[in-house]
Structures are given as C-alpha cells and as structure tokens.
C-alpha cells in the first residue's frame, strides 16, 4: 500500500521530504509534535484527581503548579518536581496509570502522518529518539504506538530502586537540557563516531524545542506554537501543520 493511498498529498509530501534525507539519527519532541495536547500536563491534573499521590502531595502540587503558571517557578524546576513528587510509590502503579490515561485521553489525537514517518524511519535503519520534558512514564506510554523502545527515550526521569520511585533526578530535557541529553546519549550510539554528535533531523513544536532544533542538521517545526513559528520563519526552518484533533476530557 502506497503513501498516497493512505494519506493526503500534503501528508505524503511531508513524509517523503524527510525520508529523502535518509537520516541516520532523528530526534522527536512528543507533546504537540507526535500528538496534539500535552500528555504530561494532562496526566498531572488527572492523577491529582484520581489519588495517585497522597492528598498532602496533591495539595502541594496544585499550589506549586499555580506558582509555576504565575511565573514564580522555572520550567525545568516544575518539570522535575512533577516527577519527583512520585517518590515512594511503586513504579508499576504509576506506569499503569499513565498507560490508562494516555490510551483514553491522548492516543486518539496521535498525528497519523507522524506515526507513519517514525515507523518508516525506523524501518529504514534510522536511530529514532523521543525527547521530552514530560515524565518518563507518560512518554513510555505515548511512544509505544510509534515503536520507539524505552532505551530511546530521553524524558524527565528519576532513579528507580527495587521498583520504588526515588526523588533523585537523572535528567530534565527542557530547553538547553534537550541538546545536552541528546549529545550525552548519542556519544554512546553506534550510529555516531563524532566528538560532537548531532541529529540529522529534529522535530519540535514549542519554544522549549528551539535548542534541539538548532542542534540538528535538518530542523522540522511541527504544529508550532506562535513563538516557535516566528523563530522558524526567521531561520527558514520548514514548518508543517498536521490536521488538528481535539483532545478528549476525562473526569
């Protein structure tokens, strides 16, 4: 079955424009890039309502998030705390909650051409990485339909010991943290022998992806927020807008 028999000419042209570059390594932001909506933020709200964490932690988290929205807490700090607040919980419980939330709220909003692109890149031997400031568990849930394995996920992550989540952060890939995480990971990738590894292609939608896009040889701006679209136009980066989908709401 050909691309044209499944997708519109616009979708087909986009997929082929990437495949024609024959990238060896590609990095993808997730929320807003592979699907519409913010799975990390959505799960955060959902889990507070569904008692995944204690009432005390939930009360603290709501107040802390309000401070973040007011500009009193830095992006990377909030991203880290949205993960470390699970310390003491069994990882399998949090992962199961993420799987359930993603399947209901976000999976219907996956951009089909992005899923097709990722599958075709991987089939062609491209080393595909998911890079996100959302928590490690929701990104694992999210990239499963894309075939991206757990060892190719660079998300906000904490150490887990004997199945129990700790408060010890491993990484927070947001803004400058994204290229830092990518360089560190790619140095050990067999696809690269360079001292300064760079992805051949990168895909992102928000201002927090700017540094990752600039690092790559071929940046692609997907479903961009206005501030990133302005940067893309100034730098002559290709901009692609998938068909928008409405996120569902779970009570």
Average pLDDT over residues 218-247: 89
Is 250 inside any structural domain? no
Is 248 inside any structural domain? no
Domains contained in the chain, number: 1
Domain boundaries, position 25: 3-12+21-240
Is 35 inside any structural domain? yes
Tell me the CATH number at 172.
3.40.50.1000
- pLDDT tens digits, 130-186: 999 999 999 999 999 999 999 999 999 999 999 999 999 999 998 899 999 999 898
**Measured between alpha carbons, how far is residue 63 from residues 56, 73, 81, 172 in Å?**
11, 11, 12, 21
- pLDDT tens digits, 29-62: 999 999 999 999 999 999 999 999 999 999 999 9
Is 224 inside any structural domain? yes
- pLDDT tens digits, 93-134: 999 999 999 999 999 999 999 999 999 999 999 999 999 999
Is 26 inside any structural domain? yes
Is 249 inside any structural domain? no
């Amino acid at each position: 079955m050909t691309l044209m028999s499944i997708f519109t000419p616009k979708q087909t042209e986009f997929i082929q424009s990437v495949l024609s570059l024959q990238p060896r390594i590609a990095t993808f932001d997730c929320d807003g890039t592979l699907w519409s909506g913010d799975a990390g933020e959505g799960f955060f709200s959902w889990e507070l309502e569904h008692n995944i964490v204690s009432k005390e932690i939930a009360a603290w988290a709501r107040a802390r998030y309000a401070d973040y929205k007011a500009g009193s807490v830095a992006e990377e700090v909030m991203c880290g705390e949205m993960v470390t607040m699970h310390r003491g919980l069994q990882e399998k419980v949090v992962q199961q909650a993420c799987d359930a939330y993603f399947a209901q709220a976000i999976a219907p909003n996956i951009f089909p051409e992005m899923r097709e692109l990722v599958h075709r890149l991987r089939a062609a031997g491209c080393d595909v990485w998911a890079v996100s400031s959302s928590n490690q568990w929701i990104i694992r849930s999210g990239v499963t339909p894309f075939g991206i394995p757990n060892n190719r996920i660079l998300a906000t992550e904490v150490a887990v010991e004997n199945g129990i989540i700790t408060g010890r952060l491993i990484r927070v890939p947001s803004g400058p943290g994204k290229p830092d995480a990518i360089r560190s990971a790619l140095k050990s990738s067999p696809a690269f022998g360079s001292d300064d590894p760079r992805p051949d292609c990168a895909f992102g939608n928000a201002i927090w992806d700017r540094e990752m896009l600039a690092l790559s040889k071929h940046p692609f701006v997907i479903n961009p927020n206005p501030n990133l679209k302005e940067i893309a136009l100034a730098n002559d980066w290709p901009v692609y807008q998938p068909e928008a989908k409405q996120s569902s709401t779970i009570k």
